[in-house]
């Protein structure tokens, strides 16, 4: 017994010595790739931000990352542009419209796929995922023709419908998995406790699915907000143009390359997205399901 | 309020499994009925059919005389406690217990009062603000009970509510459930695979096997007069010894021979098992209760005495299990040809032994030849083909 204990204590001590030496090295191994990753992703963003705070004339003369005399001039000019305001409003309408419609259609569809066995269920599920595989460029022309035919060309509502169609596969796919992971017994308990099926979905399934619903909402919002090709194909006037398209147009419209305003515009375009991400991350991380059933 | 009847109830799943076969029984108002049987025998399915969570393939279930086959769970006015408790993880204890009231659109003061009452009864008033994940197993169990009692339903359904608790807590909660049911006098159908739980809780116990009701009787009757080999082997711990035996005409009237041992069949036996009288020269299944063996003293008559060698002694403290050598072939319900009465509950060894439960004061040693006395009134006889008691 006694030698054994001594032996194991020695081992422990040796381990501690070893890990003390390994400490700094390990830190480098962990931090170096992380630092590189952050620089890699943040670098262009920082440069863009830097340029957006400069006067157009200083972009090349003042090459430092932190401008010598920073100005909000470019932002003011961006916001003043009627094109920007219209496009911002269109983006908001189309992104939220698509998000809401995606949830309104996706939640019942995913619930049915998750909870009911019906004939052709599997095939239908596969089929609903198919659009994810088709490249968007391949859809541009057919959708354009369709839009013209049904009178949906240059219409925000038509775009909301198109985006929802694009978003649904991913939404349904995510939600089906999530719904299936919720124990059926919770709904059965609710039924016995006097809930109608609709009430059970509203009071049990949806609250438990908040992380998944938010994930879907964020993804849908982002897709709709950033979409470019389809906006290009389906719009013509400022009545329905969104921010990415407006940004693209502006590069021509400014004649001389006005880098600060372009970058200010780009940054203003992504700020809402970043705000949404920051708000929501907390909820998604919350493990709401723990303790449901042991 | 709260009479439940099964009338020829059959449940066949789409995959062809017949989980419940022609179930017929009534649960009286206020009764505590326990459904017991080995895993997979159709207990949960039966319960879920009462709750409305499983469709009834054939037959009828009625509650208070009303056929409920086509009613939704909501319309049946019953409450159920699940094995996993199925507490709503995003609601705290108070909201969990209040949920049935919320669904019944009961709100305000009345809701508050009834939740408080239920919490009081179950001694969880100080946990109302907690979430299920912050509760121990026993506390979750209580919350699940609270959610069941708060609405004062016609019937409680409980599906193995204690099986996720550790042994000690299980015994404690068993007592509390019993108390609660007696206080509330609500008809209760309780499912368990544990025969001890069944015997201690039930006013009556229904033993199920392979979807078929074997016997429905009070715990005392189940123990004293098991109707089938399956019930005999399921109720009691250790279970009844069952072996192949032969009824013979002996020098002092009928006797039963099992291997080299014989025991007399006396008048009490014959009055309990009248069919044995005509079985002389025929094979039967003999059942002996471990606790009906005693060390023989001088007074025991020859007819009730056996002599055999001790194989193994297990000392349990207040009693001892003595394994006696026997050359009679043991029978499990699986050896009964007429299904459904099956499964090898106690095919525990190939060695042929008979278990006796003896007082620990005078114990035989292993290998020793002992004389034992058997209480002849506690002999059981079964038909070897049908597995039914020879009454
Ligand atoms: N949804 C189902 N589909 C097919 N078979 C099932 C289903 N549910 C239960 N069974 C089968 O029915 C039988 C009885 O099950 P169950 O009532 O859960 O048994 P118990 O509760 O007594 O352990 C088992 O053989 C089980 O495999
Ligand atoms: Mg079960």
Domain boundaries, chain A: 2-51, 73-293
Nearest residue (by CA) to ligand 1, atom 16, is: B42
Is B137 close to A204, i.e. CB distance below 8 A? no
Å from CA of B43 to ligand 2 middle? 6
Residue A95 has pLDDT above 90, yes or no: yes
A186 shares contact with chain B (CB less than 8 Å): yes
Per-residue pLDDT band for A60 (boundaries 50, 70, 90) equals confident
Q: Do residue A194 and residue B134 have CB atoms under 8 angstroms apart?
A: no
Report pLDDT for A59: 82
Mean pLDDT of A207-214: 88
pLDDT, one tens digit per residue, over A229-239 is 888 889 888 88
Going by C-alpha positions, the residue among A28, A188, A168 that lies closest to residue B72 is: A188
CA-nearest residue for atom 12, ligand 1, is: B19
Strands B187-192 and B155-159: parallel
Q: If you measure CA to CA, which chain A residue comes closest to B138? A: A294
Span B325-332, mean pLDDT?
A: 87
Tokens 């957006």 identify what position? A52
B142-153 pLDDT per residue, tens: 999 999 999 999
Q: What DSSP element (H or E) covers A193?
A: none
Taking alpha carbons only, the member of B258, B243, B191, B196 closest to residue B223 is: B196
Please compute the mean of the pLDDT values over residues A60-70 and round it to a whole number. 83
pLDDT at B128 over 80: yes
**Chain A residues touching B189 at Cβ < 8 A:** none
pLDDT attached to residue A287: 39
User: Residue B51 is nearest to which of A192, A208, A290, comparing CB atoms?
Assistant: A192
**Cα gap B322→B357, rounded to integer Å:** 6
Predicted pLDDT of residue A7: 65
For residue B342, the model assigns a pLDDT of 36
**Is the pLDDT at B296 greater than 60, yes or no?**
yes
Tokens read off for B131: 């979430």
pLDDT for A12:
62
Ligand 1 pocket member B13 (CB < 6 A): yes
Q: How far is the CA of B45 from the centre of ligand 1 (A)?
A: 6
Give mean pLDDT, residues B288-297.
93
Report residue B148 as tokens: 């069941």
How high is the pLDDT of residue A254?
60
Cβ(B39) – ligand 1 distance below 6 Å = yes
> What is the model's pLDDT at position A286?
52
User: Quick one: tokens of A70?
Assistant: 């920073």
The residue whose C-alpha atom lies closest to atom 21 belonging to ligand 1 is B44
Mean pLDDT lowest among A120-129, B167-176, B304-313: A120-129
**Closest residue of B to A292, CA-based?**
B89
Please give the pLDDT value at position A56: 84
Rounded to the nearest angstrom, the distance between the alpha carbon of B38 and the centre of ligand 1 is 12
Q: Judge contact between B54 and B28, C-beta under 8 A.
A: no
Q: Does A181 touch chain B (CB under 8 A)?
A: no
Q: Which chain B residue is nearest to residue A196, measuring alpha carbons?
A: B74
**Spatial distance between the Cα atoms of B97 and B150, rounded to a whole number of angstroms:** 7
The pLDDT value given to residue A10: 67
Regarding an ipTM greater than 0.90, the answer is no
The alpha-carbon radius of gyration of chain A (Å, integer) is: 26
Q: How confident is the model at residue A285 (pLDDT cuts 50, 70, 90)?
A: low
Q: Residue B338: pLDDT above 70? A: no
Q: Does domain B4-226 have CATH number 3.30.980.10?
A: no
Atom 19 in ligand 1: which residue has the minimum CA distance? B40
Residue A289: is its pLDDT beyond 50? no
CATH of region A73-293 = 1.10.3720.10
pLDDT of residue A253: 64
More confident residue, A6 or A281: A281
Q: Residue A62 — pLDDT band, cuts 50, 70, 90?
A: confident
Instruction: Calculate how far, in angstroms, residue B84's C-alpha sits from the geometric centre of ligand 2.
Output: 11
Q: Do B133 and A195 touch (CB under 8 A)?
A: no
Lowest-confidence pick of A51-55, A288-292, B135-139, B278-282: A288-292
Q: How far is ligand 1, taken at its centre, from the CA of residue B12, in Å? A: 10
pLDDT in tens, B88-107: 999 999 999 999 999 999 99
The CATH class for the domain spanning B233-382 reads mainly beta
Most confident of A38-52, B207-221, B323-337: B207-221
Q: Which two tokens stand for residue A40?
A: 């890699």
B312 min Cα distance to partner chain A (Å): 35
Q: Which string of b and e fits B251-278 if b means at least 16 CB within 10 Å?
A: eeebbbebbebbbbbbeebeebbeebee
Nearest to A140 by CA among A168, A166, A172, A164: A166
Chain mean pLDDT for chain A: 84
Nearest to A194 among B82, B100, B132 (CB): B100
Higher-pLDDT residue of A257 and B95 is B95
The domains of chain B are located at 4-226, 233-382
User: Greater confidence, B19 or A131?
Assistant: B19
- Are residues B89 and A289, on separate chains, in Cβ contact within 8 Å? yes
B36/B22 Cα distance (integer angstroms) = 17
| CA quadruple A182, A184, A185, A189: dihedral, nearest 10 | 100
A22 CB within 8 Å of a chain B CB:
no
Q: What is the pLDDT of residues A212-250, one digit of tens each?
A: 898 888 888 988 999 998 888 898 888 888 999 988 888
Instruction: From B9, B40, B80, B213, give the residue whose CB has the most ligand 1 atoms within 8 Å, as the site to mutate.
Output: B40
A18 pLDDT tier (thresholds 50, 70, 90): low
Nearest Cα residue in chain B from A184? B86
Please report, rounded to a whole number, the percentage of residues in chain A having pLDDT higher than 90: 34
Q: Alpha-carbon torsion B52, B97, B141, B135, what sign?
A: positive
Radius of gyration of chain B (CA): 24
């Amino acid at each position: 017994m006694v030698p054994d204990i001594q032996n194991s204590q020695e081992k422990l001590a040796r381990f501690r010595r070893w890990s003390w030496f390994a400490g700094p090295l390990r830190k480098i191994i962990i931090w170096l790739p992380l630092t590189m990753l952050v620089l890699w992703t943040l670098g262009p963003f920082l440069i863009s931000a830097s340029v957006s705070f400069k006067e157009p004339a200083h972009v090349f003369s003042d090459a430092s990352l932190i401008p010598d005399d920073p100005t909000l001039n470019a932002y003011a000019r961006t916001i003043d542009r009627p094109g920007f305001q219209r496009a911002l409003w269109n983006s908001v309408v189309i992104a939220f419209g698509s998000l809401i419609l995606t949830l309104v259609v996706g939640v019942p569809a995913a619930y049915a796929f998750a909870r009911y066995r019906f004939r052709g269920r599997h095939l239908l599920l596969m089929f609903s995922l198919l659009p994810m595989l088709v490249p968007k460029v391949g859809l541009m022309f057919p959708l354009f023709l369709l839009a013209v035919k049904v009178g949906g060309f240059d219409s925000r509502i038509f775009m909301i419908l198109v985006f929802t169609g694009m978003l649904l596969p991913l939404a349904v796919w995510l939600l089906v998995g999530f719904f299936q992971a919720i124990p059926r017994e919770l709904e059965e308990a609710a039924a016995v406790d006097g809930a109608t099926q609709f009430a059970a979905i509203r009071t049990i399934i949806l609250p438990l699915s908040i992380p998944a619903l938010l994930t879907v909402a964020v993804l849908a919002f982002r897709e709709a907000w950033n979409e470019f090709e389809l906006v290009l194909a389906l719009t013509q006037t400022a009545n329905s143009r969104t921010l990415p398209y407006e940004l693209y147009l502006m590069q021509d419209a400014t004649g001389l390359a006005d880098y600060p305003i372009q970058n200010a515009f780009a940054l203003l375009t992504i700020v809402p997205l970043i705000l949404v991400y920051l708000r929501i991350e907390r909820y998604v991380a919350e493990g709401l399901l723990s303790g449901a059933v042991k | 309020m709260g009479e439940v009847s099964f009338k020829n109830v059959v449940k066949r799943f789409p995959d062809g499994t017949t989980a419940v076969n022609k179930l017929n029984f009534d649960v009286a108002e206020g009764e505590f009925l326990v459904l017991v049987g080995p895993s997979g025998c159709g207990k949960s399915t039966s319960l879920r059919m009462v709750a409305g969570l499983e469709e009834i393939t054939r037959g009828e279930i009625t509650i208070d005389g009303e056929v409920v086959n086509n009613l939704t769970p909501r319309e049946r006015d019953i409450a159920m406690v699940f094995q996993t408790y199925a507490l709503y993880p995003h609601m705290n204890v108070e909201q969990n217990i209040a949920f049935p009231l919320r669904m019944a659109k009961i709100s305000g003061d009345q809701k508050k009062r009834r939740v408080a009452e239920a919490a009081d009864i179950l001694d969880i008033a100080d946990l109302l603000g907690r979430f299920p994940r912050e509760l121990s197993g026993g506390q979750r169990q209580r919350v699940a009970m609270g959610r069941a009692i708060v609405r004062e339903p016609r019937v409680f359904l409980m599906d193995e509510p204690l099986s996720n608790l550790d042994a000690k807590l299980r015994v404690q909660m068993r007592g509390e459930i019993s108390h609660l049911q007696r206080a509330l006098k609500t008809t209760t159908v309780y499912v368990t695979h544990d025969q001890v739980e069944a015997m201690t809780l039930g006013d009556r116990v229904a033993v199920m096997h392979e979807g078929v009701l074997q016997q429905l009787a009070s715990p005392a009757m189940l123990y004293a007069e098991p109707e089938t080999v399956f019930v005999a082997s399921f109720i009691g711990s250790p279970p009844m010894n069952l072996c192949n035996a032969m009824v013979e005409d002996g020098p002092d009237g009928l006797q039963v021979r099992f291997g080299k041992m014989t025991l007399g069949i006396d008048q009490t036996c014959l009055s309990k098992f009248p069919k044995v009288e005509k079985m002389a020269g025929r094979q039967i299944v003999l059942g002996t209760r471990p606790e009906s063996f005693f060390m023989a003293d001088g007074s025991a008559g020859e007819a009730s005495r056996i002599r055999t060698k001790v194989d193994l002694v297990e000392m349990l403290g207040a009693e001892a299990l003595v394994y006696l050598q026997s050359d009679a072939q043991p029978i499990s319900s699986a050896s009964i040809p007429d299904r459904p009465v099956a499964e090898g509950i106690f095919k525990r060894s190939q060695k042929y032994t008979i278990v006796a439960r003896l007082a620990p004061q005078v114990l035989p040693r292993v290998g020793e030849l002992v004389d034992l006395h058997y209480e002849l009134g506690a002999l059981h006889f079964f038909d070897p083909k049908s597995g039914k008691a020879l009454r």
